[in-house]
Amino acid sequence: MIFGYARSSTGSQQITMEAQEAKLKAYCAYKDLKLDGIFKDAAQTSKRPFGNRPEGSKLEAYIKSGDCEAVVIAKLDRAFRNTKECLISIDNWRKKGVQVHILDINVDTTTVYGRVFLIMVAAFAEMERGLISERTSAALKHKAAAGGLVNHPNSVKYGKVAVNVKWDEDGSVLYCDIEDNPTEQAVIKKVLELRGKGLGYGTIAKHVTEAGFTNRLGNDFGRSTIKSIILRNS
């Protein structure tokens, strides 16, 4: 059986996934290879080993069982996280009689020259990822030193919103800027105004809810949430 493999770094990279699928199907049609299926790992970071990904592990099972004769991969960095994993995996697959077609580097792992070429390409790919990581790290340090905000969206407090979110290629958040959330700022203003009139947490929660406001989960405000807002903004 012949299988394709595709991976996207984040759930929003649907176009990337579709592009990989199109390339896999076109290549197999051109080479007159019967593609029995495509294993698609959506929103999977490249930092996770191939065999530890949901679909990657299923493909590994086919390879180990001897039911797979070839694997077609659109891009080298979509499958393996580093040179070592790439070479070990492909060598293990080759011992099972599995041919590997990697489209972006046009490599044929059935020949000695092909395997040597793969070693070189994999090493340069890993070096490129390392250089990108170093440049990104340097840029973030410069941004922080210049007074720019370096944050993660999950750390945004009530009343604020994450904008200009920067993602790296494996789906991790590099940084984001933080701005005021107009709706939540209106809630904070209302809460502090009512607190200034001497109202208790529970009463304030009732007033805010009756005014049509909800928390981030879309639920009514509770006493503890109101207390938290007051303590953070007093």
pLDDT per 10-residue tile (average), the chain, 234 residues: 89 72 92 93 84 93 93 88 81 89 79 74 69 67 56 71 67 68 91 93 92 86 92 86
Query: For position 231, what pLDDT does the model report?
Result: 92
Look at residue 54 in the predicted model and tell me its pLDDT: 93
How far, in Å, CA of 210 to CA of 75, rounded?
54
Backbone angles phi, psi at 166, to 5 degrees: -110, 120
Parallel, antiparallel, or unpaired for β 99-102 and 70-73? parallel
Position 112 scores a pLDDT of: 73
Q: Is 129 helix (H, G, I), strand (E, B) or coil?
A: helix
* pLDDT for res 70: 93
Q: Is 133 a catalytic residue?
A: no
The candidate with the shortest Cα–Cα distance to 72, out of 33, 119, 126, is: 33
Burial 60-87 (b: 16+ CB within 10 A, else e): bebbeeeebbbbbbbbbbbbbbbbebbb
Torsion angle defined by CA atoms of residues 132, 119, 75 and 46, in that order, rounded to the nearest 10 degrees: -50
**pLDDT value, residue 198:** 93
Of 3.30.1490.20, 3.40.50.1390, 3.30.413.10, 3.40.50.2300, the CATH number of 2-132 is: 3.40.50.1390
CA angle 97, 81, 25 (to 5 degrees): 55
Q: Where are the domains of the chain?
A: 2-132, 182-233
Among the options 9, 137, 172, 228, which is catalytic? 9
Burial class of residue 217 in the structure, from the number of CB atoms within 10 Å of its CB (0-12 exposed, 13-18 middle, 19+ buried): exposed
Q: Are 81 and 49 in contact (CB under 8 A)?
A: yes
- What pLDDT shows up at residue 115? 73
How far apart CA 30 and CA 24 sit, in angstroms, is 10
- Amino acid 191: pLDDT: 93
**Residue 2's pLDDT is what?**
95
